[in-house]
Amino acid sequence: MSTTHDFSTSEKADADRPRVLIVGAGLAGLTLGMLLNKADIPFDIYERSTLIKPHGSAMYFNCTTASMFKQCGIYEEFAALGKCVSTVQMCREDRQVDFKMEFGDQEMEFGARGYIIPRPQMHDLLLRQIPEERLHFGSKVVTIETDDNGVSIHCSDGSVVRGDILVGADGAYSAVRRDLYAKLKESNNLPPPDALPLPFTTICVVAQTWPLTPKEFPDLALEECQFRHFVGTNKMNSWSTFTTAQNTVCWSSILFLDEETTKDNATFRNSEWGQETAAEMCDHIKDFPIISGDEKIELTLKDLMDHTPEGQISKVMLEEKVFHTWYSGRTVLIGDANVINGLSSNSYMEDIEYAFKVYKEERLPWVEEAFESSKVHRTMVGQSFASKVTRFVSKHMPVWMFQHIEARSCRYRPQVSFLPLVENTGRSPHAPQPSMLVKTPSKAEKPRTVQSLEK
């Protein structure tokens, strides 16, 4: 027997705010939920998995997220969970450092430093910001229905949930995006590039050891994160290690695919973090050398595997693509808390679409720039001619040029408009953020129009 939860009347009458349905309890979905909770916007998060899986390696957060974390009151805990990064070391297979990339004084330049944080710890921090009653696990979205008055999601357990805005934050193989694109394609409104399948050129294993001692891994005694990329000799592999504040070592290895190996891996997709398929790749990479911090201790990835909890080595496919279709009607992919905060419960669908348009116009250039930067970093650890040229240029790049590139990539440091602003204490100015002009509507406000949003 199905149950229907319609949130389009009672809670709206109290708060006069749109109810947001978020599909996906990953980092993106939880971050949006945290912001909506701060804005007193009613929301619920629906996650297909029945429990939290502590998989993954480490994530690097530079200064661009610091202001928003400070606004939300989690920055101190975030920093305590992380380990500062000031240098990335590019290493050879003979355990020698080829060259280093120095970030400089990020605190002075941007007002915050960069941190390495294990992905499971970051996920747990965000999860704790969400009221328990707003999280719904084991809720796999099957179908989506939208009309002039709202949007409904039908879940595999038979439940039906209704709200005003639907946000797809459910990963590369998003059920929300798949439904959105299918409807747009049917009406001939989907750009051909967005209809193409996700390209993939690499597969990766990721994991985190249990806590180790400095005797086992001497670099753990150092205050800063030892962030190392290794480039194989005549191998289509690169691998990385990162020391953490939890005294663990996060590690990963990438296999760059050619035409033949791409076909071999064509049946594998990262719709789930895979454990079973990781064993074969681990056997292939187990003898890859790593640096522990003591030349007398010659470790390999096998040593890290032996100190990794059973079942927590995952194989994922790294797929890179910028989708240019972000929204339609009441549905948006990911979502921006500033523009959602500017909507009232009686906003017309055209006003919701206009808000999403504003969000896309502000964010897309930054997404494309980050995508290009990500491609450069991926190329740097590869084996192609372009990879070797990229490493050569990076190795011989003047410090001032590297700092100029860093300043450009860090100038977009967004904040949310409905929380007290954080002063920029760095000497590097931040980029303009048009969505900061979006104001919270009053309860007495009449239905919003596109023209009022433009003003």
* pLDDT per residue rounded down to tens, the chain (455 residues): 445 444 433 343 344 889 999 999 999 999 999 999 999 999 999 999 887 776 778 899 999 999 999 999 999 999 999 999 999 999 999 999 999 998 888 999 999 999 999 999 999 999 999 999 999 999 999 999 998 889 999 998 889 999 999 999 988 778 899 999 999 999 999 999 988 877 777 888 999 999 999 999 999 999 999 999 999 888 889 999 999 999 999 999 999 886 555 545 555 544 445 555 688 889 999 999 999 999 899 999 999 999 999 888 988 876 677 888 888 999 999 877 888 888 877 787 888 888 888 888 888 888 888 878 877 777 888 878 888 898 899 999 988 888 888 888 898 999 999 999 999 999 998 888 888 888 787 655 544 444 444 44
* C-alpha–C-alpha distance, residues 85 and 62, integer Å: 9
Domain boundaries, the chain: 4-82+115-195+321-454, 200-319
**Type of residue at 330:** R
pLDDT at 233: 86
Tell me the CATH class for 4-82+115-195+321-454. alpha beta
- List Cβ neighbours of 264 (8 Å cut-off, separation of 6 or more): none
DSSP for 324-378, written as a single string = S--EETTEEES--HHHHHT--TT--HHHHHHHHHHHHHHHHHHHHHHHHHHHHHH
Are the C-beta atoms of 448 and 347 separated by less than 8 Å?
yes
